Structure formats: C-alpha cells, structure tokens
Chain A
Amino acid sequence: MSSKADVWQGTLALMVLKTLQTLGPLHGYGIARRIEQTSGDLLSVNYGTLYPALLKLEQEGYINSEWGQSDNNRKAKYYRLTRAGRKQLAKEAQEWGQATAILARFLAPGVEQS
C-alpha cells in the first residue's frame, strides 16, 4: 500500500514509553499520532496494534491508565508512565543505543552507498 516501513517488533513498546515521557499522560490515539509524526512519517502505525501493546505494558506495570477528558471534550483513556516504566525506558534506550552503535560500526567499512 505504501513504501513506509511497518513498526518492527519490540520497538513499539520503547516508542510508547518515550512518547509518554516526552508528552506526559496521553491517550492511545495521541500516542499513535505522535509516533508517526516523530518518525517523520517514515513509519506507519496500524493504530489497532497499539492497544495490545499498551495492555501488555500496563500488565507489566510500566504504565497505568485512567479515563479522562480530551482537549475537545471527548472521553478517552489516558496512559501515564510509572516509576518502573521510567527505569525501563532508561534501560532499554541505553541498550538500543548500544545495539545500533555496534551495528553501525559493523556495517561502516563495507557499506556501499548507492
């Protein structure tokens, strides 16, 4: 349908946590939009897949949720980062940084720019 890359496995949770850290409490729709915008519209989020991921994070205790009012007076479920979530985010972000750095170094010499 489009040439945009789908969000790959395992990174969605990290993006959600980062989004909540940056923007504070937010509803699912907002999170989805924010992820798309941040990626510079390079990523396409199938908004539906977000909710199971949110549920998983909540079950693991990294975020919690409560119902509230959105800017234009819609009832929406707001997700908020917990203390454990903050720690988890720091840990995962660091791991990602490491992983990408290693990969970058790995690929650098043989890279053929085309």
Chain B
Amino acid sequence: MRQLRAWFLRLGGFFSKKRSDREFAQEMESHLQMHIDDNLRSGMTPGEARRNALIKLGGVAQAEEKYRERRGIPALETFAQDLRFAVRMLLKNPGFTFVAILILAMGIGANTAMFSVVHAVLLKPLAYSEPDRIVTLATFWRADAHQSQVSGPDYHDWHDQSDAFESMASYNHQDTAVTVGTGSGATAEYAHAAAVTAEFFNVFAISPAAGREFSADELKPGSAGAAILSYTFAARHFGEAGDALGKPLHIAGKNLAIVGVMPLGFRFPEKTDVWIPVDAQEMGSSLRSAHNYKVVGRLRTGVTLEQAQAQMNAIGARIERKYPDSNSGLSVAVTRLRDQMVGDYRLTLYMMLAAVGVVLLIACANLANMLLAKAVGRAREIAIRAAVGASRIRIVRQLITESVVLALLAGGLGVALAFWGSRALVALAPADVPRLAEAGIDGRVLFFALGVSLAASLLFGLAPAMQVMRVDLNMALKQSAQRTGGGSLADHMRQALVVAEIALSVILVAGAGLLIKSFVALQNVSLGFQIEHVLVVETSVPSSDLESARRASRFYRDLLPRLRAIPGVLSAGATGAPPGDTRSDGGYYIDHLPATFNVSAPNAVYSVVAPDTFATVGIPLRAGRDFNEGDTYEAPFVAVINEALARQAFPNQDPIGHSIYCGLDSMNPMKIVGIVGNIRQYGPARDPSPEIYMPNEQHPQPATDLTLLMRTSMQPGTLSPAVREKIRELSPEVPVKFTTMEVLTSENIAVPRFRTLLLGIFAALAVCLALAGVYGVMSYVVGQRVNEIGLRMALGASQGDVLRLVLRQTVLMTGLGITVGLAGAAAVTQLLTSLLFGVKATDPGTYAAVVALLVLAALAASYIPARRAMRVDPMVALRYE
C-alpha cells in the first residue's frame, strides 16, 4: 500500500518537476540561512559561518540529484529524455522520417487490414452462446474422404443413439417464394427459408425475442405448421417484431401463422429469414440414399469433439452393418461449426496473411538499411556521446527508442490505412465468405497493430543498434565525419538485408505468378455454354403437392412463349439449375433396374429443363432431338444425356433408343432421345460430369423453382422490366431475381480471383520495396566509393569500366537473392498446389519470368547510382579528400 502510494506520488513528481525544483531550492536556502545564523551566534566570522554551513550541507548538487531521483522515477525520466531526443532527431530529418513512416505504415496497414479479415472470419468466436460446443455432423465418404449431406433415416439414428449431444437437429434451406400477409397488396418475394427439426434452436441455446418456438403439435407430420421470422425480416414487414405474431405467411404452398421472432443477429443457416418445421413425413420415409439434410448438434458439457467423433464412428459402423446397400463405405464426420463454415477460405486467408507478413518483413529490411546508413553517418555523434560517458546500453536504448517512436507513428498511420484497406478487402472478397461483413478495426485488431509495430521496431532497430555496439571509439573520433564508414560489418549487413529482400520478393512473385497463370488458365477454359448476352431470372412457384407442382409446370409452359415475344429476346428456356451450378445428382441405371440398389452405381448430374433451353445457352445438340411441347406429363418419359454420360455408359454404341433410370423423383424408365455437348457443371476447375436432362413437365415436383434463361440481342439487363411485367401478369405469387450469365460465371471464380489479385498486389509491393532497397544500397556504395572511382578514372578507367564496377555488385547481390529466393519458393509454392489449376508448382516458365523480372528490376534500380558513378569528375573526386 505504502509502496504504491509512494509510486503514485513519484509519478506525479515526474510531471510537476519545475515547481518542486523551486521548492527544494527554497528549503536548501532556508536551511543554509539557519545554519549560518547559528554559526554567527557561536562567534564565527560571516565568511567562516557560510563556509562551514556549506561544507556541512555537503554537495548541494549531489543532494539535489538524489532528491530528484527520489522524487520522480529515474527510468521514466531517461525514457522521456530519449523520447524527446528521438522526436528531435526525426524532426531534423523530415524527408527520411516521412519516407520511413510511409514505407512502414503501408506494411503495418496491409497487415492490420488483412488481420482484421482473418480475425473476423477465422478467429473470432461465433456470436452464439458457448460456440465451441456447436458442431456440424455430416456423412463421411471413406472412398474419397469427402463430406456430404445426411439422409433423414440416418439423422434419426444419429439423434436417437448418441448421448454426446445435448441437442441435435437437422435442417435444409433454400431461397424460396414467401408472401407476407394476404389481399391485393401482398406480393411474393424471395426469402431464405430453413426447415428445421425440434431441437434446432436449442443447439444454439437461443430463444425467440418475441413469441415462442414451435410447439410439439406444430412439429408433427400433417400439422398446420407455423413460422418463426428473423428480426430483420419481421422489422421490414411489420415495423415492430411483436406486431408480426399471429400474422399469416404464405410459403411453400401453405399458409402458416407467425408464432415467434428470433433476436436480432440470429440468422443461421446463412441469412435465413424464415424458419418452418421440417416436413417430418418426408424426412422419416425418405431413402437412406437420399442425402437431403444438414445436421447440427450441441456437445454436452465436458464432452470433447474427439469423444463425440468416437461415439459417432461407432454409431456409423452400426448403421453401415445394418444397411450395407445404402451405407457401405459411409461414416460420420463431426466438425466444429466454425471450422466447417470457414472451410475453403482458411488456406487462402492464412496464405494472404503470410504473404502480407513477408511484405512487412521486406519493409523492415528496408528500414533497417536506411537506419543503418544513418547510424553510420551518426557514428561520430555517437562516439562523442560515448566518450563523454554514455554507456553503450544507454546509447543503444536511445537508438531503440528512436525505432519505437518511428514504428508507433507508422503504426498510427497504418491503422488509418487499415480502416480503408479493411473495407477494400471486404469489397474485393467473394460475396459468400462467412462473417466477412464483421471485419473492421476493433480492440483486438488495434492490439495486433500495436504488436506488429513494436515487433517491427525491434526488427529494423536491431541492425543499427548492433552496429553501434561495435563502433571503435578511437577510430570514429579520429576519422572525419564524411569518411566514417561503418566498416565491413555494416556493409555486409546492408547487403545481406538487400539479398534477403530480393529472396523474399522472389518467393512472393513466384507465388503470385503461379496463381496468375492458374487464373488465366481458369478463365480460358471453355465452359461449354454461352456466357455473353444471357439474362438469368430465378423464379419460384409456390407448391406443396403434385397438384400444385403441375400448376407450376403450366405456369412455365404459358410463360416461355410470352418471353420469346419480348422484342430483343432471341430465345428463351428454363432449367432447374443455371449452367455452372447443380442442384441434384445421384446414380443412374441403363435399360433395367438392378435387384438391389447400391452406392457404387455410376453417378450423374440430374437436370430438369424446358424445351429450347440448349439452343438458348448454346449447348450443341450432337444427336437426336431436343425436348418439345409434346413431352408432357402424360406422354412417354424421355431424357437427353450429355456426351460424357454417352461415353461412360455406351462405349461404341448408339445411346439413342435405350432407356435410363434415375431417382430424381420416380424410378420410371426414360427413353434417351438426344445427346448434347458437355458443360462444366462444377466450374472451370473440374472436368464435365455425366449429366441427365429431363423435361420439366415430366418431373413437376423437382421443377417448381426454375431459372429462366434468355439469349438477348442487347444488354441483357435492359430487358429485366419487361420480363418482370410478363411474370407479374401471369402470377403475382412468383418472386423473381435477376442476374446475367456473365455475373454468375464470374462468381464461380471469385475466390481464385480474390487470392490472385491480393497476392499480385502484395508481390508488386514487395518488388517495389526490394527495388528501393537495391537503389538505396547502390547509391550508398557509389557515394562511399566516389574517391576510388575518381582515382580509377584518373588512372584511365573508362566509363564502361566504372559501369561494370557498379553493376557487378548489383548482379552479385541480385543473383544471390534470387538463388536463395528460388530455393525458398520451390519449398513454399508446394503449399499452393491445391490452389493451382493447369500449372505445376514447379512451372519453369513462371520461375524464368520471375528471375527475368527481378534481374531487370534490380538493374533498373541501380541505373541512377551507376550513372552518377560514370559522371564522377576525377578532379572533383580527388580534391574532395
């Protein structure tokens, strides 16, 4: 307590120095006077009295110093002194300071911005109660270690047989038509709806902000059902969350009563607006081979992920033994929700963070170089300070204080840059990165920036400090300020730093080069369909049973001719999933069904399409015919297959006329009537899969939500109003969402574009910094060797000789840097393998280009210093001494 009080007073003393100095002087003065008075009284002469009093008081200066030490905190005072001195030094050299802060601020800003994204997406806990207990459960396919959705019966077994989970729920979700309210004013809109089982909200330990959860009755098969809204959706339609309760909602062909509104911010999964009870009947009776649901669970308190996984393994094995037809080769994967959400982005984001860290390293190397040059220039000043008694530690502390001040200033500016950079990153990133919108500068990000700044200050402050530690006092004092070289150690250090900069740049540029090459390859892949001038309109016709689904078929049958009649529309079709996307896939059988189904049947993508769709998007008809108006529900079932399926199932045979079976909605045989060209359904990075096209009218239930496709003679977007009007005329219950094929396909490669662009930017930054480093060192070297160069020229060296002299050093440094860098790149780019497409991590072309780029850049950077060297006037240089 007493100690603490004293410390606070001393801290106070640190700030009220002047006043207290005066008071001490007064006290000394009064002490002296009283002593002199006494001495006089005892008979001394005035002179003697004063002398005696002064001796007795001891060294006033010493006492004062001790008093001061006691009053304040000496370390703090030294620090304040260093700080003042550092600021003075930085102000004395505004150009240097400005450049140094700018370089460093860019490095720190880029790191902070990147970290804000990594923090929001990867590190920050999910905004649910005890988020680490929330896991996802998925079907695990041992053959290729991939995870998929879960079948209804499997889910029920998992749920009933496990006890590692406090609660477990399954759900599925999609964009669907929702009409709020009734009457003439109500129009349909797209909303994200999730159909969930009973314990869904328990998994997140969340309860409605208004109203209640689903009752047991509402969850029963065949009940009237109910709906729960997200806060934002409720607020948008009803103003107040509470006002939504009891109002009707039309969704999936049913009128449901709104019974609850969830708290603001809860929208799992994705951006859900409406939760409804899952169709228990469909879920319970559906096949084990139909993987249509996702599953989440909440671990019981104290149960670890590993324990839960072990238990699910056992349950999975039991199910596998019991149902070998549907479940052989399948197990269960338990993953933390956060890890599952982040999935593919983890590698990309950490790679970017590493890359931006390398940029900062290069910036630090640059700064170390600049400070080293300055420290050498200051060798004399430092030697003098050492000579008058400053300890080395004290001097090093001074230098480090300067570095820290520099780094903190740069950190401040860097955070300002990061505000902007973080927003830019969010704008650049693919739209579906989870939680990206939360990225911003918060306390933890600021703390990171501070940490990075301090670490950086140590990194670049160390080299000059080490240099100072070994300055030879005598030498430094004897030499003139101009000629005080740092000796060979400083020169070596400087060159080593530049070599490191070049090496790091090589790694980044090689990585960027590989990604750019992959990206170009991705973009050049032919997708198999037309991209330009195609308008894409998502629609959804509400339906609940076969009857209403067939009404949906009629709606599309009526709509398509009207769309074709719009001026500017060349051709129109409709499909269950736009090209480049898939909604459904599974096994298929040729000519006859096997006695038992098994999971090893060959797989194909299932698509429902309307007549004329192939022509609309430019998928070529290779043989047979397209669907037409005659392929109705009552007509014989037909199918069109793609070339990949024809090759796989009919080697050396004509497929046309054979029949094919698949479990899209029924196991009716379909006669193959046509063959079309392949498209890449899973984006440019994957080869085309076999695909079965079926006429939408013959499969009404999977064909109630079709995507309209229109080839246009003008900018597709300009037709949107006319299309919207035609759809409204026919049915106001159908919501629409417009986009174009160009936008859709570019979204497919948004992730590679993001990482290519970012790494490209970072690599460019790295090269610029490395160039600055080469330029700095070469300028310095030339400056140091002016005399030598002058002498050589006086002795007859030509300008060419001088040029060679300078360039030799550049080439040496660059060559060494590139060699080291290539070795590093060969190791590091292995990590990129999974991100590359159409190019190997060891692509010689890329490496050759990297080497050429850096050599040229380094030569360019040393051009100015070299030219200066060539223009050295021997007379001036020699007289200089």
Interface set of A (CB-CB < 8 Å, partner B): 27-30, 33, 46-49, 51-52, 55-56, 59-61, 70, 72, 74-77, 84
Residues 2-30 of B, flagged 1 when their CB comes within 8 A of A and 0 if not, give 11011001100000000000011011101
With A48-B57, A48-B62, A59-B6: A29-B71 Cβ-Cβ less than 8 Å: no
Bound complex: CA of A30 vs CA of B34, how far in Å? 9
A51 touches B67 (CB 8 A): yes
A88 shortest CB reach to chain B, Å: 9
| Contact sample, A vs B, 23 pairs, CB 8 Å cutoff | A29-B30, A29-B31, A29-B35, A46-B56, A46-B58, A48-B57, A48-B60, A48-B66, A49-B63, A51-B24, A51-B66, A55-B67, A56-B70, A60-B6, A61-B2, A61-B5, A72-B37, A74-B30, A74-B33, A74-B34, A75-B26, A75-B30, A76-B34
B67 touches A47 (CB 8 A): no
Residues 67-88 of B, flagged 1 when their CB comes within 8 A of A and 0 if not, give 1011100000000000000000
B residues in contact with A72, CB < 8 Å: 34, 37
Given A52-B67, A56-B70, A70-B30, 20 new contacts (CB under 8 A): A28-B27, A28-B31, A46-B56, A46-B58, A48-B57, A48-B58, A48-B60, A48-B62, A49-B58, A49-B63, A51-B24, A52-B69, A52-B70, A59-B5, A59-B9, A74-B33, A74-B34, A75-B26, A75-B30, A76-B31
The 9 closest A-B CB pairs, nearest first, are A48-B63, A48-B58, A46-B58, A59-B6, A52-B70, A52-B66, A59-B9, A29-B34, A29-B31
A70 touches B34 (CB 8 A): yes
A residues in contact with B37, CB < 8 Å: 72, 74
B residues in contact with A28, CB < 8 Å: 27, 31
Using CB atoms, name the residue of chain A closest to B37: A72
B28 shortest CB reach to chain A, Å: 8
B71 shortest CB reach to chain A, Å: 6
A residues in contact with B66, CB < 8 Å: 48-49, 51-52
A4 shortest CB reach to chain B, Å: 12
B71 touches A55 (CB 8 A): yes
A47 touches B31 (CB 8 A): yes
Bound complex: CA of A70 vs CA of B34, how far in Å? 9
A5 shortest CB reach to chain B, Å: 16
Q: Is B389 in the interface zone, CB < 8 Å from A?
A: no
Q: Which bucket holds chain B's interface residue count? A: 20 to 34
Bound complex: CA of A84 vs CA of B2, how far in Å? 10
With A52-B66, A60-B2: A47-B57 Cβ-Cβ less than 8 Å: yes
Residue from B30, B38, B56 within 8 A of A47 (CB atoms): B56
A residues in contact with B594, CB < 8 Å: none
Using CB atoms, name the residue of chain B closest to A45: B56
A6 shortest CB reach to chain B, Å: 11
With A48-B62, A60-B6, A61-B5: A27-B67 Cβ-Cβ less than 8 Å: no
Residue from B30, B60, B69 within 8 A of A27 (CB atoms): B30
A residues in contact with B38, CB < 8 Å: 33
Choose among B5, B27, B28, B59 the residue with the greatest number of A CB atoms under 10 Å from its CB: B27
Using CB atoms, name the residue of chain A closest to B33: A74
Taking CB atoms and an 8 Å cut-off, the chain B residues in 523-579 that contact chain A are: none
Using CB atoms, name the residue of chain B closest to A28: B31
B31 touches A27 (CB 8 A): yes
Using CB atoms, name the residue of chain A closest to B1: A61
Bound complex: CA of A49 vs CA of B67, how far in Å? 8
B767 shortest CB reach to chain A, Å: 58
Bound complex: CA of A55 vs CA of B12, how far in Å? 13
A residues in contact with B70, CB < 8 Å: 52, 55-56, 59
Bound complex: CA of A77 vs CA of B20, how far in Å? 13
B487 shortest CB reach to chain A, Å: 45
B residues in contact with A30, CB < 8 Å: 34
A76 touches B30 (CB 8 A): yes
B30 touches A60 (CB 8 A): no
A51 touches B27 (CB 8 A): yes
A residues in contact with B5, CB < 8 Å: 59-61
Residue from B27, B59, B60, B69 within 8 A of A77 (CB atoms): B27
B63 touches A52 (CB 8 A): yes
Bound complex: CA of A49 vs CA of B60, how far in Å? 9
Bound complex: CA of A26 vs CA of B26, how far in Å? 16
Choose among A27, A30, A55, A84 the residue with the greatest number of B CB atoms under 10 Å from its CB: A55
Using CB atoms, name the residue of chain B closest to A88: B2
Using CB atoms, name the residue of chain A closest to B7: A59
Using CB atoms, name the residue of chain B closest to A72: B37
Residues 31-63 of B, flagged 1 when their CB comes within 8 A of A and 0 if not, give 101110110000000000000000011111011
B442 shortest CB reach to chain A, Å: 40
B residues in contact with A48, CB < 8 Å: 57-60, 62-63, 66
Using CB atoms, name the residue of chain B closest to A48: B63
A residues in contact with B62, CB < 8 Å: 48
B residues in contact with A59, CB < 8 Å: 5-6, 9-10, 70
Bound complex: CA of A60 vs CA of B681, how far in Å? 80
A residues in contact with B10, CB < 8 Å: 59
A residues in contact with B27, CB < 8 Å: 28, 51, 76-77
Bound complex: CA of A17 vs CA of B125, how far in Å? 59
